[in-house]
Structure formats: structure tokens, C-alpha cells
Amino acid sequence: MSELPDADVTLDALPSDHLKMTASWEQERLFDVVVVGAGIAGLAFALRLPEQTRLALVTKGALGESNTRYAQGGLAAAVGEDDEPALHYEDTLIAGAGLCDPEAVRILVEQGPAAVDWLLAQGTAFDRDAASRLELGREGAHSRNRVLHAGGDATGFEIERALVARIRERHIATIFEHATALDLLVQDGRCAGIVMDHADTRFALRAGVTVLANGGCGQLWSVTSNPPAATGDGVAMAIRAGVTVADLEFTQFHPTVLALPGGAPFLISEAVRGEGAYLRNRAGERFMVGQHPLAELAPRDVVARAIQAQMVPDGQPSVWLDLRHLDPAEMERRFPTIARHLAAQGLSLTRDLLPVAPAAHYFMGGIDAGTDGTTSLPGLLAIGEVSCTGVHGANRLASNSLLEGLVFGLSAADRLDSVAPPATGISPARDGHRLPALPDEETHALRTELQAIMSRDVSVVRDHASLDDAEHRLREIAERIAGRAIRSVPAIELRNMALLALAMTISARNRRESRGGHYRSDYPATDPALDGMHQFVLPGNRRVFRSLAIGRQVADTAVVP
């Protein structure tokens, strides 16, 4: 067996302010369950609870604004006549590059078809063919057409629409819109709710069960497919509360985000390549042919690195996506949202070469959680992208993200045996009121600097030198934040981003191999000794590599004091 990473750096050197929880509030509310996040995971969980549950639903934007809303491609499930869960299982394991938890994957794919039926019962209108059968597309690394879609390329929007409508129709929750969760409340070793900023007032929402479903962290990079609210708040909250997190080194970069000079990033769904689009380089060559047996439909990490390799030598900002050989009418029908967006930019979906480049897209790491959402902190559940169940391994299979949020959101609600009464007796601290506030101008500048560091040094390709430099510069940002009053929402987000960016960078340097979404140019091979070995950050900021092959409670393989 080759030597495991020695993990000689921990988060202990972080400024202490970044590991303190916020415990200051002006008002209190009591609930049975608090759900933070209103994408597919949070909404599925909420709708599955008994209607008498006293439920609070906290969402950072307006209800309906989430990463789910922006999911174009679709939801993968083995519902086709030529498909079965066993095939979906194998495809997921292959894409996960030796790091998937097989049991979590089995649950995901076997429960997927029933979860789709539940979505249909909630009013989700997936696209159907002339015979009224569900229309199924194919995306990268899938061996069958199994991707359900809606409105052609507006799948997430339709799912979010249907679930939000059901939430409002049933009046089952007290909804806090435009509200930011600050930290977890912990009492006697149990999660007791959250502290929340809402309309410039801080609330303690006390609950017997707290559910984090508040998504990913694409905003840590300058270019991302994620909406502005995806700043890693849930994982940062968990780290501050001493909750075990895992696999922070694994971020998926979507290969094809529209790359127009000065233009906002816009995702060009992998389903476009599933319909037969080609990727071409500066010379007009299909460079994925010969790179992988699936060519343009290779796993996302393979395609993203191949695109990066084409861009770097010539200093090109993109490669090109080519649909000119495909039927124009069918492409316009299949991808109306993309076609409209391109037209607004003066481009034609079917007549022009489309400039595309990789962008931060999906976080495979997160809060260590079971398929029922349970975490290392009693009373705290984590579901969806904020969690790390091992189901995606080192590289998520396309369109498994919506499925994960749906299946494990329903599972978490179904397996919630009882709800403890909300904790009482937690007194708010009044620390920090006399500290100088972090002004908005400095907050914005530091956020831009952090994103630039991550984009240059902790991106599609990393190495020891780039990760060392990133850590040094991120610590400088953290020091500038320390000792300042964190009052505004942008400052709250920056604090979370700084903590998570540092944790990611240290984890990436610690895994001395290349695997899935984590590629080290100084360690380009995959180390067989690390097959199935997940990197955990435990309470006290110890780092361990641990296998999930025979369960989640395996003895530590490598421990850092």
C-alpha cells in the first residue's frame, strides 16, 4: 500500500473569529422543525412531513429561487423500458471514480422511479412524446436515455414551480423569505435550531430538528453556473459547530458554460451534447475523439480537463460547441431556453459555433450525512448538495443531483421517527456589538479577491505550489475579516466563503492524487490505496482518511492530532 497523505495542516490556525458561532438575537420563535433551503431537497422534505408539524422554511431569496431552479438538463432515473436501476447503479459508480458509497448509490437508484412518481403526483409536468410516454434524454457517462426533462431545458424551473405551488396551497409552513441563516444553535451536544437574519432583525428559531438543505458554493469562484446565493453557508455553519464534513476537495466544473467576453456565465446543458453536439478546438477539430471512448459524452471531469488543455497553450478563453450538423427545428424545440438566451446575445443555437469554457458547478463534498440526512450532531439533518453521502463519489454523474435531493429529502422525512421539543434556556450572547463593522466596499473587494484566488489556484487543475499560495492569500483575507463585526448579509457570506475556501484548499493539498473532480498536475495518477477513502474533517479539526466500504463507522486510517 502506498503512503497516505500525512495531513500535517489543520484548520486550527484559522483566526478564532471564523470558528466562533453567532449567538446574538433579538427575537425567538419555537417550531418542531426548521428547514434551511427551499430547493428540491428542502421542499420534498417539507411536503413529506405530517401536516400538523410546526414547520419553519427559511430561504435566502424569494421562495422558488434556488440552485434547483437553474438545473436545465434534467433528473436521471431508471424509468425507461430498456433501463433498470442496476444499469444506473453501474454508471454512477463509474463516474464516481472509485469513491462512491455503494449502499448510498443503491438506495438512490432503486428509490428513484418511485420518487419520480411522487414528483408527478405533485404536479410536475415532465416532457412527453407523441404517445404520452415520458421523454428521456441522455447525458455524459449514462449508458441509457434516462434523463427526464421539462420545457425542453427548463427542468429545474418546472420542478421548483410545482413544489412551491404545493407548499403554498397546503399552508404547511411558516415561510421566511429573504432570510439568511447565520449559525446553528447547539445545546447539550444537540442541535437546537438556528440563528437567522431576517429584515435586519436577528431571530433564534428553536426546533427539535434542524434541516440544512441550503445548497452549494459555486460563488467561491469567479465564474460559476450557480446563482448569487450559493456561498457555502451550510457547510461553513457546520464547521463552526464542530459537525463532521467530508470530501471538501471535490468540486465539479461543468465543461460547457457560455464564455462571451464581458457576458454573465450561462450554462449550456450537457443534454446538448447528449443530442449530438460536438466540441471543437481553435483548429476546428473534434478534440474529444480519441480522448475517451464516449468522446463528448465522457464524464464531466474528463471533458472539463480536455477543454482546459485546449485553452491554456494558446491563451484562448474558450473552445466551441457545434450544433450545425443537427436538425435545427428539433434543437430549437428541445432547448428553447438556451436558444432564447443565445438569441439575446446575437447568437444562433444551430448556426453559430458557441464559445464555452468550464465553470464551477457542483460541490461533491459537504456535511457528512447518511441517506436519511443524519449527521454527527444529533438533531441536525443535511440533505441535497450541502450534504456528502458518498453517493456522487469524486465526480457526480450528470442529472443525479436533482435525484439525490428528491430521494434523500423524502427518505429523511419518512425516517424522522420523532421530534424532540425545542430546547430552552439558551441565552443570547452580546459579543461583537462594539467591534468596527466590515464596510460593504471592503466586503466586495475581498469577495472578488477570494474568487480570483480560487479560480486561479483551486480550479480544474491544481498542484502543491498553487494550493500553498492559495492558502497563504486566503489566510490574509481571513485575518482582515477577523475582529470585525459581521452585520450585513454580504459580510456574513464572505465570512462563510473564507472559512470554506480555506478548508477546501487544505483538503485539496492533503489528497496527493488525481481523482474525479480533483486533479493534481503534480500527482496526475489515481492512487489505488485511496480507492474508497474519504477525507473527513472531524470535531477539533482532525483530518482522517476513512473507508465507507463496510459502513460509516470504520476505524481511522490516518489521524492528525
Q: Which residues belong to the active site?
A: 300
How far apart (Å, rounded) are the C-alpha atoms in residues 136 and 132?
12
Q: Per this entry, what is the length of the chain?
A: 561
Pure H helices in 281-399: 300-314, 328-334, 336-344
Nearest to 300 by CA among 253, 249, 337, 333: 253
CA–CA distance, 443 with 42 (Å, rounded to integer):
29
In contact, 240 and 20? CB cutoff 8 Å: yes
Cβ pair 487, 515 in contact under 8 A: no
* Cβ(512)–Cβ(5) below 8 Å: yes
Contact between 402 and 391 under an 8 Å Cβ cutoff? The reply is no
472: helix, strand or coil: helix
Q: What is the rounded CA–CA span in Å between residue 301 and residue 312? A: 16
If one counts every other C-beta atom within 10 angstroms of the C-beta of residue 314, the result is 10
Would you say 85 and 112 are in contact if contact means Cβ atoms under 8 Å apart?
A: yes
On whether the CB atoms of residues 470 and 63 are closer than 8 A, the answer is no
Report strand pairing: 27-36 vs 55-58: parallel
H or E element that contains 108: helix 102-121
Taking phi first (over 0 means left), then psi (-120 to 50 degrees means alpha), and beta for anything else, what does residue 214 get? alpha
> Could you tell me the three cell numbers for 478?
481571513
Pairing of β 366-368 and β 387-388: parallel
Phi and psi torsions of 37, nearest 5°:
115, 135
**Residue 446 backbone phi and psi in degrees, to 5:** -70, -35
What does each C-alpha distance from 448 to 325, 462, 559 come to in angstroms?
40, 20, 35
Residue 26's region, left for phi above 0, alpha for psi from -120 to 50, else beta, is alpha
Q: Contact 336/153 with Cβ under 8 angstroms?
A: yes
Radius of gyration of the chain (CA): 22
The DSSP H or E segment spanning 179 is strand 179-187
Q: What values do phi and psi take at 405, rounded to 5?
A: -60, -40
**Under DSSP, is residue 278 helix (H, G, I), strand (E, B) or coil?**
strand
Buried b (16+ CB within 10 A) or exposed e, 332-357: bebbebbbebbeeeebebbebbbbbb
- Closest CA relative to residue 193, chosen from 211, 169, 210: 210
**Residues near 104 by beta carbon (within 8 Å), at least 6 away in sequence:** 371, 389, 390, 391
Helices (H), 81-190: 85-95, 102-121, 155-170
